[in-house]
């Protein structure tokens, strides 16, 4: 079985020059950095906050904070990893405000081994995503990932959706590498388990589960 091929863009060589220019007050150079990473920051923010308005705020606040604190960026890490760290912190603050009843911390060690042990081992259809139209698929994927604890969701999004390395994810989230690996494994297994309900092999598509509206438990 082949391994996952990450979709990671190599760092652009002029990036450090843009950062240096922005440090010197060149807003145009900083705007280039915004253009380069605004889509990523928006995606990460919406995955964490699960709210479109919050994600918009996070994009603005994260870039503004990055601009104001550029002098602190020493260039030991990639600018993007440094920016993601700021954006994740902003997004978690939004999430805490919106869901104060829940503990939202990336440091908590959630015991969810039971959830991660595969129970559903039915094989999937060859092209499971083609069983559903685009809107249905989007809803399935959104609700499924929203059901993960925020600490697992964040690691999965940075590693598997955004393509950060394990080391970069650890740095951005201020976690140890073993903690990133452990959460990533659990996140992947839990998502797989939940998606199995929709994607398992069926005879002629009979028995395809409906997508529940509202806050259904996927």
Partner 1 sequence: MKCSDFLQELTNYLDGVIDDRTKAELENHLSWCHNCYVVCDTTKKTIEIYRDSELYELPEDLRSRLRSAIVSKCQGHKKVGPESV
Whole-Å CA distances, 44 to 9, 47, 83, 87, 196 = 17, 5, 11, 8, 25
Least Å from the CB of residue 185 to partner 1: 4
Closest alpha carbon to 94 in 133, 134, 50, 137: 50
Closest alpha carbon to 185 in 160, 202, 168: 160
Closest alpha carbon to 141 in 210, 208, 214, 218: 218
Please report, for the chain, how many H helices and E strands are present, in that order.
Answer: 9, 0
Tell whether residue 74 is a contact of partner 1 (CB under 8 A).
no
Q: Could you say which of 12, 21, 137, 211 contacts partner 1 (CB under 8 A)? A: 137
Asked if residues 150 and 66 have their Cβ atoms less than 8 Å apart, the reply is no
Q: Could you say which of 12, 15, 36, 43 contacts partner 1 (CB under 8 A)? A: 43
Tell whether residue 132 is a contact of partner 1 (CB under 8 A).
no
Tell whether residue 130 is a contact of partner 1 (CB under 8 A).
no
Among positions 97-126, residues that touch partner 1 (CB under 8 A) are 117-118, 121-124
Q: Could you say which of 115, 142, 208, 211 contacts partner 1 (CB under 8 A)? A: 142
Tell whether residue 8 is a contact of partner 1 (CB under 8 A).
no
Tell whether residue 91 is a contact of partner 1 (CB under 8 A).
no
Nearby residues of 62 by Cβ (< 8 Å), 6 or more positions away: 41, 45, 83, 86, 87, 90
Distance CA 211, CA 7 (A): 30
Tell whether residue 167 is a contact of partner 1 (CB under 8 A).
no
For partner 1, the binding residues (CB under 8 A) are: 1, 3-4, 7, 25, 27, 30-31, 34-35, 38-39, 42-43, 46-47, 55-56, 59-60, 63-64, 67-69, 71-72, 117-118, 121-124, 128-129, 137-138, 141-142, 145, 156, 160-161, 163, 166, 181, 184-185, 188-189, 191-192, 195-196, 199
């Amino acid at each position: 079985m082949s391994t996952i091929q990450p979709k990671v863009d190599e760092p652009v060589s002029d990036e450090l020059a843009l950062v240096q220019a922005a440090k010197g007050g060149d807003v145009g150079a900083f705007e280039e950095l915004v253009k380069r990473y605004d889509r990523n920051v928006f995606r990460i923010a919406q995955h964490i906050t699960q709210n479109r308005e919050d994600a918009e705020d996070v994009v603005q606040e994260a870039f503004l904070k990055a601009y104001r604190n550029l002098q602190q960026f020493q260039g030991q890490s990639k600018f993007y990893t440094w920016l993601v760290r700021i954006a994740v912190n902003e997004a978690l603050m939004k999430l805490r405000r919106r869901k104060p009843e829940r503990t939202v911390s990336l440091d908590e060690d959630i015991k969810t081994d039971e959830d991660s042990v595969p129970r559903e081992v039915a094989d999937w259809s060859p092209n499971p995503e083609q069983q559903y139209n685009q809107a249905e698929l989007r809803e399935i994927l959104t609700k499924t990932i929203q059901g993960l604890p925020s600490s697992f969701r964040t690691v999965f999004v940075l590693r598997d959706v955004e393509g950060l390395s394990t080391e970069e994810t650890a740095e951005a989230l201020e976690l140890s590498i073993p903690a990133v690996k452990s959460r990533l494994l659990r996140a992947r297994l839990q998502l797989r388990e939940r998606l199995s309900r929709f994607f398992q092999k069926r005879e002629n598509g009979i028995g395809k589960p409906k997508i529940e509206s509202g806050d259904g438990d996927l």
